[in-house]
C-alpha cells in the first residue's frame, strides 16, 4: 500500500513523500555482488606444490624426577642414597643448574617431624628448585 502525497492528502501537491525509494538499495546491492564475484576466485586461488614428506617426531625432553625420602629420624635419601645436609645442598645446586630442571619428589615418613620436611623444602627453595612435589599413598 503506497502512502503517496497526492491531491487527496495535500491539495497543493508539495507534501513529503513517505515511500521507500528502492533504486539506491538495488544499486548498492549490485555493486557488492560484483565485488564479491570478482574477489572470491582471488581468495581461493593457490599455487599447487608437491611438497616433500618427512617423518619426524617432536623432540620432547622429559625431565627426570629425583626422589627425596625423609625417614622418621630425619635421614635424607636421594634416590635411595643416604645424604648429609652438606651433600644434599650440593646435589640441589646441581639439580637447579640442569635444563630442563628435574622435579623433586619428597616422600616423608608418616611420623617424621615437620621440622625435617621444612628444612628440606627450604634448602630446595634456596637452591632455586622450581618443581617440588609430595608423594603420598591414597587414603582408605
Q: Is 84 a member of any domain?
A: yes
Name the pTM for this structure: 0.54
In a domain, 108, yes or no: yes
Tell me whether residue 6 is in a domain: no
Q: Is the alpha carbon torsion for 89, 93, 98, 103 positive or negative?
A: positive
Query: Quick one: average pLDDT of 131-139?
Result: 85
Task: Give 80's DSSP letter.
Answer: T
Instruction: Decide if 4 is inside a domain.
Output: no
Q: What total number of domains does the chain contain? A: 1
Q: Directed axis angle between helix 114-127 and helix 85-97, to 10°? A: 40
Sign of CA dihedral 69, 75, 77, 83: positive
CATH of the domain at 94: 3.30.420.270
Within 23-137, residue ranges assigned H as helices are: 23-44, 85-97, 114-127
- Is 125 domain-assigned? yes
Task: Tell whether 94 is covered by a domain.
Answer: yes
Domain residue limits at 74: 65-134
Band (pLDDT 50/70/90 cuts) for residue 122 is very high
Which of residues 16 and 80 earns the better pLDDT score?
Answer: 80
Domain-located, residue 23: no
Q: Which range is least confidently modeled, 10-19, 24-33, 89-98?
A: 10-19
Domain assignment present for residue 40? The answer is no
Amino acid at each position: 500500500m503506497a502512502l503517496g502525497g497526492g491531491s487527496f492528502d495535500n491539495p497543493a501537491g508539495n507534501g513529503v513523500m513517505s515511500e521507500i525509494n528502492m533504486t539506491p538499495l538495488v544499486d548498492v546491492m549490485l555493486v557488492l555482488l560484483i565485488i564479491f564475484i570478482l574477489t572470491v576466485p582471488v581468495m581461493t586461488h593457490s599455487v599447487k606444490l608437491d611438497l616433500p614428506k618427512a617423518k619426524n617426531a617432536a623432540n620432547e625432553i622429559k625431565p627426570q624426577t629425583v626422589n627425596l625420602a625423609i625417614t622418621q629420624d630425619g635421614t635424607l635419601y636421594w634416590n635411595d642414597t643416604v645424604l648429609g645436609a652438606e651433600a644434599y645442598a650440593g646435589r640441589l645446586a646441581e639439580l637447579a643448574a640442569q635444563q630442563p630442571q628435574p622435579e623433586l619428589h619428597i616422600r616423608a615418613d608418616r611420623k617424621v617431624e615437620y621440622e625435617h620436611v621444612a628444612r628440606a623444602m627450604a634448602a630446595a627453595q634456596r637452591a632455586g628448585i622450581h618443581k617440588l612435589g609430595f608423594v603420598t599413598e591414597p587414603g582408605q
